[in-house]
Amino acid sequence: MKQLLMCSAALVAVAAPAAAFAQSTGSIDFENEIVVTGATTPKGLAGVELPETSKARGVLNQEIIERQIPGQSVNDIINLLPGVSFQNNDPFGSAGGTMYIRGFDNTRISQTFDGVPLNDSGGYSIYSSQQLDSELIEQVNVNLGTTDVDSPTAAATGSTVNYRTRNPTDDFSVKIVGSAGDFSFFRMFGSVDTGVFTPWGTKAFFAASKATNDTIFNNRGEISKQQYNAKIYQPIGDNGDFISIAAHYNEAYNNRFGSVTFRNDGAGAVPSRFPNNRDERDYVIPYCTTQMPAIAGVADAATNCGSTFDERVNPSKTGNIRINSRFTLADDLVLTVDPSFQYVRANGGGTATAREGFRDINPGSGVTNAVGYLGGSPYFGYDVNGDGDLLDSIRVLAPSETNTRRYGLIASLRYNFSEDQSIRVAYSLDYARHRQTGEIEFLRNDGQPLHAFPQEGNPLRDATGSVLQKRDRFSKAILHQIAGEYRGKFDALTVTAGVRAPFFKRDLNNYCATSSATGFVECFGTNSAGAAQYAALNPTIQGPQRRVFKYDKILPNIGLTYDVTDAIGLFGNYSKGLQVPGTDNLYNSFFFAPDTASAKPSPETTDNFDLGVRYRSSKVQAQLSLWYTIYQNRLASAYDPETDRTLYRNLGRVDKYGIDGSLSYRPIPELVLYAFGSYLKSKIKDDVLYGECTSGNVSGGIAGCAAVGDPIYAQTSGKRESGAPVYTIGGRAQATLGPVELGVQVKRTGPRYVNDLNRPFTLGGTIIGGVAVSGGAQVMDAKAPAYTLVDLDARLSLAPLGMGDKTYLQLNVSNVFDKLYYGGFDGRLDAGFAAASNLPFVQIGSPRTFIGSVVFAF
């Protein structure tokens, strides 16, 4: 959506070259105008572009995208830009990954697809496996540390990733890509362009793909993905006006794999720890062959069939419809209107141990039995397995399901009041209906789901007839935003000055009682009598309720560029970013009374500064930028040993700064060299309030705990943020030798702290302020070490065989030297853990993989 808005910005005429690389109708229009008017500025070298803009921005186009693994996630491809760090869970782009840009994690990065926002409307996550097929991406552009003035998002405090779909071709064409590789990978992609098929210039394309592979590392599981795309384009007149309608649908069913306990002390075996060498990287998940008998009068235990992480199924169905349009109302007045609709249905799999009997919900000395999803387990209240008692436990499928319907609109009006000066106003709407449930269903005898989505089968009910589910909530995320921008060109100086004003509302309904500050809930469903009884027995616990949160902010965005010469330019930019609290954080706040400070989480804000220099010629393109970000109210997750749950802590102010640079050089027409690098420094300014001293802390003589209730602080002052690498450096060389093209790319990712205390993970002992003050044993170093990956690609043209210049064979090899490395993990606050089951997880880095492809096109 952000990009759609921006597209209108691009319409801002001659002074807006930067907008040409945004995701909107206006941006595309203005980019075409630059080409038509004969601008001599080079577009890029070997698929890497450095647009003339006040922001530090990098662009990758189809020339480099098509040389990556066919179907690869666009988020892995942008790993070739400075400041970007992405760890792919698999070699093929079908299993997700972990992304940071300038230290911003994926929930703080805005990603758009033809202007449509892709971040989850609840928690702002980006799902890398659900992106557009790479063959259809015209370009992807990345603002490394700032948002745009018209970004219609309440999530991005910093970076943006924007990609757009190519237009249909003027002539009839067909493209077929067939790929096969390690891990039984097989993929087919096909597209058909109609060419212009009406007297009015109408053209369209249709595309589909199907990919399957075995999961890597473990001995079981499969990843299956299919995708369908279509676009129709109708020009209006001959002045660049048009209407286009595009549709996208993606469906995936994935088994989990490769996520292991974040420890390297050698205790136990993989996946209970990280492998010590490549021989340990592959592990076995036993198939379940034992069914527990149902014996009357005996408390039959649930089996473990289906309980492992690797047996989880992660299904998703996503789709959208996108309309882009441009209308010239007068010579200097242009309107763009871009509506959209999105649909998302997904869950993360998982199981739970259900109980036939009842749960005592009376916190006092008496006993009050109840049924429902209580204390983290479903209670049926009847004999499930037919053995005549209510003593037994049964393993059931218990995923957390999300169903979202999302409506968007971006409208922009641009007016040129002189040849060199323009203004525009824009409005955007993002309206998301977010339903989150947790129905349960029986498993097959081998522990596999009967249905990937329990709602499609027969969700289980308790003795009262109420559907058992571990969560039951509905929310609306509603953004209204107005924006305005001025652009003026004064000889060599171009100035942009804009502001956006988002008005954001979260309307949340939790139909379960919130029993802890970590979001633990007690769900009675439609059993209103049970819910009332629980509320009477637990008067201090917040029951089912609705709360409305509103946030608004004025967010300026000011930039300038100065042309020192035709080839050298200076740029600078200031922007303010905003992220309002996500649904999980807000639902957790339901534990507190509505009128208390803890029930009103504060939004995160950033002040982002960029200053740089850019050089562009036909043989050399280079960019160097210095940046600084001031972060306020930075949230971090932390494990609470008292409640055995994860809490959100406010890190307060965090200052981040660094340097990014890239250089492309074409010494001869047959060879292009590209290098990039970045360095990041972050500094948490204060110690973080972690909790309060207990009577046990006082009696135990814990330092700083003189009395019950004294504050406990995590010692974060002066420390770096976790998760993001200290530096990245890499490069690519691409050569053409007659019908053969060769490419090699390398990237080294620097060390990453595993927590915000910058301390090793420990297990056991006395934990205060997130660290073991006594008795803890180290199980993981303070940093995940640096690693280097090398990828190869080779292409053999079949044109000499008379098959056309668009038909070729391609070989891709990822992780050529089969490096064992720590893959993606989420940064966190704490370093000490009471039990091994509380330790976080890390993904094993993707191994060496060979993929061969045949590309046939005419």
Check residue 14 and give its pLDDT: 30
Tell me, what's the pLDDT at 252? 96
Read off the pLDDT band of 13 (50, 70, 90): very low
Identify each DSSP E strand in 182-312 by its residue range: 185-193, 203-214, 222-236, 241-255, 259-261
Type of residue at 274: F
Average pLDDT value for the chain = 91
- pLDDT over 70 (residue 689): yes
pLDDT, greater one: 38 or 314: 314
What's the pLDDT at 637? 62
677-to-45, 660, 724 alpha-carbon distances in Å: 17, 6, 14
DSSP letter string, 411-437: EEEEEEEETTEEEEEEEEEEEEEEEEE
For residue 21, name the pLDDT band (cuts at 50, 70, 90).
low
Instruction: Give φ, ψ of 449 to 5 degrees.
Output: -65, 145
Lowest-pLDDT range, 147-151, 726-730, 764-768? 147-151
Percent of the chain with pLDDT over 90: 80
Residue 23 pLDDT: 56
Check residue 397 and give its pLDDT.
96
> Residue-wise over 715-739: b if at least 16 C-beta within 10 A, else e?
bbeebbbbbbbbbbbbbbebebeee
Rounded to whole angstroms, the Cα distance separating 212 from 226 reads 9
Mean pLDDT score, 148-177: 90
What mean pLDDT do residues 708-737 have?
Answer: 95
Measured distance CA(112)–CA(147) in Å, rounded: 12
Residue owning tokens 């641009």: 414
**pTM, two decimal places:** 0.92
Q: Looking at residue 516, what is its pLDDT?
A: 87
Question: Could you tell me which residue, 43 or 857, shows the higher pLDDT?
Answer: 857
Closest to 309 measured CA to CA, from 257, 357, 373, 375: 257
Q: Are 452 and 253 in contact (CB under 8 A)?
A: yes
Please tell me which residue, 148 or 105, carries the higher pLDDT value: 105
pLDDT digits (tens, 9 = 90+) for 588-615: 999 998 988 888 889 999 999 999 999 9
Position 474 confidence tier, pLDDT thresholds 50, 70, 90: very high
The residue among 497, 486, 489 whose CA lies nearest residue 419 is 489
pLDDT at 801: 92
Q: How many helices (H) and strands (E) does the chain have?
A: 7, 54
Other CB atoms within 10 A of residue 339 CB: 17
pLDDT at 43 (0 to 100): 73
- What percentage of the chain reaches a pLDDT higher than 70? 94
Mean pLDDT of 464-493: 96
pLDDT digits (tens, 9 = 90+) for 341-386: 999 999 999 999 999 999 999 999 999 999 999 999 999 999 999 9
Choose among 325, 323, 422, 334: nearest CA to 17: 422
The pLDDT confidence band at residue 25, using thresholds 50, 70 and 90, is: low
The 10s digit of each residue's pLDDT in 765-805 is 989 999 999 899 999 999 999 999 999 999 999 999 989 89
Q: What pLDDT, on a 0 to 100 scale, did the predictor assign at position 39?
A: 42
Q: How far is CA 459 from the centre of its chain?
A: 30
The DSSP line for 502-515 is: EEEEEEEEE-SEE-
Q: 15: pLDDT confidence band, cut at 50, 70 and 90?
A: very low
- Is the per-residue pLDDT at 324 higher than 60? yes
- DSSP lists the bridge partners of residue 469 as 439
Whether 519 shows a pLDDT value over 90: the answer reads no
pLDDT at 202 over 70: yes
Query: Class of 2-245+256-857 per CATH?
Result: mainly beta
- Determine the Cα–Cα distance for residues 376 and 192; give it in Å rounded to an integer: 51
Res 291: pLDDT = 73
pLDDT at 10 > cutoff 90: no
Q: Tell me: the pLDDT tens digits for 648-661? A: 677 889 999 999 99
Q: What is the pLDDT of residue 12?
A: 32
Return the pLDDT at 647.
Answer: 62
CA distance 111 to 156: 9
CA distance 134 to 23: 16
Instruction: Estimate the share of the chain in helix, then strand, then coil, as percent rounded to the nearest 5.
Output: 10, 50, 40
The region of weakest confidence among 43-47, 255-259, 453-457, 666-670 is: 43-47
pLDDT tier at 9 (50, 70, 90 boundaries)?
very low
> For residue 555, is pLDDT > 60?
yes
The C-alpha atoms of residue 3 and residue 23 are separated, in whole angstroms, by 4
- pLDDT, residue 757, reads 96
The DSSP element (H or E) to which 77 belongs, if any, is helix 74-77
pLDDT band at 24 (very low <50, low <70, confident <90, very high): low
Residue 11: what pLDDT?
32
Contact call for residues 3 and 24 (beta carbons, < 8 A):
yes
3-state DSSP of 404-417: EEEEEEEEEEEEEE
Q: Minimal CA–CA distance to 375: which of 360, 389, 365, 364?
A: 360
- Cα–Cα distance for residue pair 662/15, rounded to 1 Å: 25
Confidence label for 429 from pLDDT (cuts 50, 70 and 90): very high
Say if CB 650 and CB 588 are below 8 A apart. no
pLDDT reported for residue 456: 87
Residue 128, Ramachandran bin (φ over 0: left; ψ between -120 and 50: alpha; else beta): alpha
